[in-house]
Amino acid sequence: MNIRHAKTFFLGALVLCFLVSLFANQINSYWLFISYDIGINIILAVSLNLINGYTGQFSLGHAGFMAVGAYTAAAITNQFGELNPYLSIAVFLGALLAGGLLAAVAGLLVGIPTLRLRGDYLAIVTLGFGEIIRVVFQNMQSVGGARGLSVMHGWTNFFWAFGFAAVTVYVVTALVHSTYGRGFIAVRDDEVAASAMGISTTKYKVTAFVVGAFFAGIAGGLYAHSKQFITPGGFNFMQSIAIVVMVILGGMGNTIGVIIAAILLTLLPEGLRAIADIEHIPGIVTAHPFVWVSDTRMIIYSLLLIILMLTRPQGLFSLRKSLSK
Amino acid sequence: MTEFLQQLINGLALGSILALIALGYTMVYGILRFINFAHGDIFMLGAFAGFYLAPKVAMFLPMPSIGGGLAVMGISMAICAVVGILIEKLAYRPLRRSPKLTVLITAIGVSLLIEYTCQNDHVFGAAPKSFPTIFPEYHITQLSGLSLNSNQIIVFAVTLILLLALRFIVLKTKIGMAMRALSFNPEAAALMGINTDIVISFTFGLGSALAAAAGILFAVNYPSIDPLMGVLPGLKAFVAAVLGGIGNLPGAALGGVIIGVTETLVAGYISSTYRDAIAFGILIIILLVKPSGLLGKKEIEKV
């Protein structure tokens, strides 16, 4: 996806999600909620792709940024009662942006230790940051602590979920393909060579973390206003891994692949659940012949991850031969 | 003062267990330069092996006894050593020449696979199980009000013996010398006629056996086990390995003790809900102040 495609895509996506949102009340609410998840997961995966894919840093703490955004946005909107539609949009957008900005501050804090770390160490530190953020929310009684926080307004809708997904895709693509953004790829391809060429690798790494965290915060805000109930446990290590898997499956540094992977991996559990719910097949006597699928879903998922790494480490939808180096 | 000493003893017991896990991380990192994420799950498998072995061993040996307990621990260590070697052979060996990130992701995949397989109802099930009493239990309440649990004495004794055994293996045996050679320079070691595959398998087996022993000791002290019990101790032990200087064996043991004591003191004096964040806080500080760890050597980046 080059920058011209990105602009067309951006405008097209905005128009499309506006049109779909006009018919949203005719869509089955089950599918509507899944579509919110798809939009949110696209934001998360594409923003993580900026850090992990384009800049070559390995972050395992994306759920922590998401938590900051979710809690901030929810705490803000919970201050308001019933509002008229226009005011509610203004409050919602303000809350999402505040969540994004606070997550970006968290991203800056995580970005600073990355000045000296790389590879495995960085992965563990980001994981640690994610866990620290979770523990802090667990102890913050003003937002419910470990019991969780209920969010009064279900303001996330199709337009906002996919509108922000389109914004994320556009910003990340435009950033990486700009003259400035070439630096991200240079840092990924060879950090020593990049710094020898006069690129401030530190600045690029921190920028990637801040921008990635900002969008993760937005996604968190959307998530909170879609589920209307958030707990610190929902933003744990496993959630971060789920986002990382989307990026890896799609191919690191391949935005279109990552979007496809985010969509597929959101639909996969629903599809497996549907298979497990099949009551009978003609010719087979046992009731619920595929019920085992729901038990083994996560086993299949992790096995897929290992097999993918052994056979196609560049991701399913990537044409490039290998990861960096 | 008494309370402080009491917390110190509890912290040392936890720290000894973390030290045993950290040794496995640091050995594998020293040789292959990657974090074996599945190590915490080997620790869990060790505890579960003990859970299922205890009734079997009880048929031959009196059960809450030193001999019976050690037999359970020994068999569990052997089982986990085999599991560790198999994981290395199946998942990591094909990736020996791949980028580090690929191996790291595979390790995460292996860890998830073990956790979810064990949570399946046909395997262990997700519900916590209570670990049987395998060592005789006494409480010694003396020494000006200090209470010392017999299980804690077992932790200290077993850890000390295992550490001395490991020191002997690494410093005095031929395979230990090969391990050290490999951690200096794998290619040169291979050129000197060292069979790297065997040494790497041995390292994984040794690390996994130590993790299994830690799992049994953990379960003896905190007798509720579940398939996700290895996640946090695994991460904390990794932090311990980094704190001591990764790749450095005495450093890993020291780091484990420091993390265990700090965590227990913080839980006792400040807030027990923050205990899980302590290890990561220490990690971030150590990486900012002295990234090579307390006893580690600074590595120079070469182009």
pLDDT at B303 over 80: no
Taking the Cβ of residue B123 and every Cβ of chain A, the question of whether any pair is shorter than 8 Å is answered with no
Cα angle B48, B53, B57; round to 5: 155
Q: Is the model more confident about B1 or about B128?
A: B128
Which of A75-84, B17-26, B174-183, B190-199 has the least mean pLDDT?
A75-84
Looking at the domain B2-124+143-289, which fold is it? ABC transporter involved in vitamin B12 uptake, BtuC (1.10.3470)
pLDDT at A287 over 70: no
Greatest mean pLDDT among A266-280, B16-30, B277-291: B16-30
User: Token pair for residue A293?
Assistant: 């699928």
Give the span between the Cα atoms of A55 and A205, in whole angstroms. 7
What mean pLDDT is predicted for residues B162-185?
Answer: 92
Give the span between the Cα atoms of B20 and B31, in whole angstroms. 18
Confidence of residue A293 (pLDDT cuts 50, 70, 90): low
pLDDT at A124 over 60: yes
Residue where the block lists tokens 């621990």: B73
Give the span between the Cα atoms of B149 and B146, in whole angstroms. 10
3-state SS record for chain B:
CHHHHHHHHHHHHHHHHHHHHHHHHHHHHHHHCCCCCCHHHHHHHHHHHHHHHHHHHHCCCCCCCHHHHHHHHHHHHHHHHHHHHHHHHHHHHHHCCCCHHHHHHHHHHHHHHHHHHHHCCCCCCCCCEECCCCCCCCEEEECCCEEEEHHHHHHHHHHHHHHHHHHHHHHHCHHHHHHHHHHHCHHHHHHCCCCHHHHHHHHHHHHHHHHHHHHHHHHHHCCEECCCCCHHHHHHHHHHHHHHCCCCHHHHHHHHHHHHHHHHHHHHHCCHHHHHHHHHHHHHHHHHHCCCCCCCCCCCCCC
A138 contacts on B by Cβ (under 8 Å):
273
User: Token pair for residue A228?
Assistant: 């209307």
Instruction: DSSP letter for B173, please.
Output: S
Distance from the A132 Cα atom to the nearest Cα atom in chain B, whole angstroms? 5
pLDDT at A167 over 90: yes
Written as one string, the DSSP assignment of A217-232 is: HHHHHHHHHHHSEE-G
Distance from the B262 Cα atom to the nearest Cα atom in chain A, whole angstroms? 16
Q: What is the pLDDT of residues B43-68, one digit of tens each?
A: 999 999 999 999 998 888 887 888 88
Beta strands in A229-320 (DSSP E): 229-230
Residue where the block lists tokens 């072995």: B53
Q: Which of A124, A305, A306 sits opposite B283 (nearest CB)?
A: A124
Cα angle A246, A33, A271; round to 5: 55
Give the span between the Cα atoms of A129 and A63, in whole angstroms. 10
Task: Pick the closest to residue A165 from A1, A35, A52 (CA basis).
Answer: A35
> Would you list which residues of chain A are within 8 Å, Cβ to Cβ, of chain B?
58, 113, 116-117, 119-121, 123-125, 127-129, 131-132, 135-136, 138-139, 192, 237, 241, 244, 248, 295-296, 298-299, 301-303, 305-306, 309-310, 313, 322-325
**All residues at 6 or more sequence positions from A50 whose CB lies less than 8 Å from its CB, including other chains:** A172, A175, A176, A184, A208, A211, A212
Taking the Cβ of residue B301 and every Cβ of chain A, the question of whether any pair is shorter than 8 Å is answered with yes
Query: Does residue B97 sit in helix, strand or coil?
Result: coil
Task: Pick the closest to residue B215 from B46, B75, B33 (CA basis).
Answer: B46
Give the span between the Cα atoms of A46 and A251, in whole angstroms. 11
Distance from the A313 Cα atom to the nearest Cα atom in chain B, whole angstroms? 6
Contact A313 B98 (CB under 8 A): yes
User: Token pair for residue B45?
Assistant: 């498998």
ipTM for the predicted complex: 0.80
Question: What per-residue confidence (pLDDT) applies to A211?
Answer: 95
Contact A121 B287 (CB under 8 A): yes
Question: What per-residue confidence (pLDDT) applies to A325?
Answer: 41
Question: What per-residue confidence (pLDDT) applies to A21?
Answer: 78
Contact A139 B98 (CB under 8 A): no
A308: Cα within 13 Å, side-chain hemisphere? 24
Greatest mean pLDDT among A66-80, B26-40, B100-114: A66-80
pLDDT at B142 over 70: no
CB A218 within 8 A of CB A100: yes
**All residues at 6 or more sequence positions from A247 whose CB lies less than 8 Å from its CB, including other chains:** A45, A48, A49, A52, A53, A258, A261
Residue type, A78: N
CB B19 within 8 A of CB B255: yes
3-state SS record for A126-184:
HHHHHHHHHHHHHHCHHHCHHHCEECCCCCCCHHHHHHHHHHHHHHHHHHHHCCCCHHH
Nearest CA in chain A to B284: A125
Instruction: DSSP letter for B132, please.
Output: P
Give the span between the Cα atoms of A216 and A129, in whole angstroms. 15
Locate the domains of chain B by residue range.
Answer: 2-124+143-289
Strand partners, B130: B224
Task: Pick the closest to residue B43 from B197, B236, B203 (CA basis).
Answer: B236
Confidence of residue A323 (pLDDT cuts 50, 70, 90): very low
Q: Is the model more confident about A40 or about A252?
A: A40
Task: Round the CA-based radius of gyration of chain B to a whole number and report it.
Answer: 19
Within 83-112 of B, beta carbons closer than 8 Å to A belong to 91, 94-95, 98-106, 108-110, 112
Give the span between the Cα atoms of B174 and B244, in whole angstroms. 26
Phi-psi label, residue A251: left if phi above 0, alpha if psi -120 to 50, beta otherwise:
left
Give the span between the Cα atoms of A64 and A67, in whole angstroms. 5
Give the span between the Cα atoms of B22 and B36, in whole angstroms. 11
Nearest CA in chain A to B285: A113
Give the span between the Cα atoms of B35 and B234, in whole angstroms. 11
Q: Which of B101, B116, B301 sits opposite A302 (nearest CB)?
A: B116
- φ/ψ of residue B225, rounded to 5: -115, 145
Phi-psi label, residue A66: left if phi above 0, alpha if psi -120 to 50, beta otherwise:
alpha
Q: Residue A304's Cα: distance from chain center in Å?
A: 20
- Write the burial class of residue A290 (CB in 10 Å: 0-12 exposed, 13-18 middle, 19+ buried): middle
Residue where the block lists tokens 């949203």: A24
Written as one string, the DSSP assignment of A98-117 is: HHHHHHHHHHHHHHTGGGT-
Give the span between the Cα atoms of B135 and A152, in whole angstroms. 53
pLDDT at A324 over 70: no
pLDDT at A285 over 70: no
Count A/B contacts: CB-CB distance under 8 Å. Answer: 116
pLDDT at A174 over 70: yes
Helix (H) and strand (E) counts for chain B? 11, 4
Q: What is the pLDDT of residues A175-193, one digit of tens each?
A: 998 899 899 999 988 888 9
Confidence of residue B299 (pLDDT cuts 50, 70, 90): low
What mean pLDDT is predicted for residues A136-165?
Answer: 88
Contact A132 B281 (CB under 8 A): yes
Task: Pick the closest to residue A257 from A245, A269, A267, A268 (CA basis).
Answer: A245
